């Protein structure tokens, strides 16, 4: 009876078949590629999540569109708008804010917050009055060309005006805003770089 030594037996291989010692090397290379792809997907997901959180809760850049805030803000300037301060606290009178109007969806507007809940706001001969007192507004170069009877704001009502009083679609036309329509606080102009400044 013939004995066969399986360790020395020569078995012909089919053309194109991998030798046993080649298979682990190729499999290891495939696993490495898969791990790298998954790592990139994880990094992209983390970056997207951080960008969403920053944009929603911390700050965002916004472009000025139109002349309604001249000369505090100019058309096509880019400003930094913070969100966290209005998540943690309340808007203050004369803040420059990003807001939304009733019936205008997610369109953002930039205006100055001149009236808080409980305030009485009016306009006479181009001068703003809050609670019966004339307001000194050194940032105004284009005064209002309209008069406005006194409006007393309710518990959840805010009044906004553009600094370009003679050319602004604001609360004297669209009415008061609710607290959830005040979306952010304008802090800086950052572009063009030559226009960099703090907004007050």
Kindly list the catalytic residues: 68, 111
Name the E strands within the chain: 59-63, 78-82, 96-99, 109-115, 120-124, 127-130, 133-134, 148-152, 159-161, 182-191, 197-198
Relative to beta strand 159-161, strand 127-130 is unpaired
Three state DSSP letters for 137-171? CCCCCECCCCCEEEEECCCCCEEEECCECCCCCCH
Instruction: Categorise residue 157: left if φ over 0, alpha if ψ from -120 to 50, beta otherwise.
Output: beta
d(CA 169, CA 154) in angstroms, rounded, equals 21
């Amino acid at each position: 009876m013939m004995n066969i030594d399986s360790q020395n037996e020569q078995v012909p291989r089919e053309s194109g078949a991998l030798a046993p010692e080649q298979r682990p090397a190729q499999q290891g290379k495939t696993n490495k590629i898969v791990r790298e792809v998954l790592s990139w997907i994880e990094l992209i997901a983390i970056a997207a999540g951080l960008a969403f959180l920053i944009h929603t809760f911390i700050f965002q850049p916004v472009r000025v569109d139109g002349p309604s805030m001249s000369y505090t803000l100019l058309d096509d300037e880019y400003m930094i708008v913070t969100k966290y301060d209005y998540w943690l606290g309340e808007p203050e009178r004369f803040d420059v804010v990003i807001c939304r109007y009733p019936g205008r969806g997610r369109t953002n507007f930039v205006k100055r917050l001149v009236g808080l809940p409980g305030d009485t706001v009016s306009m006479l001969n181009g001068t703003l009055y809050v609670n019966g007192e004339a307001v000194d507004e050194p940032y105004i170069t284009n005064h209002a060309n309209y008069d406005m009877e006194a409006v007393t704001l309710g518990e959840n009502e805010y009044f906004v005006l553009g600094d370009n009083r003679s050319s602004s679609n604001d609360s004297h036309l669209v009415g008061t805003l609710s607290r959830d329509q005040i979306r952010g606080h304008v802090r800086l102009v950052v572009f063009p770089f030559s226009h960099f400044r703090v907004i007050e």
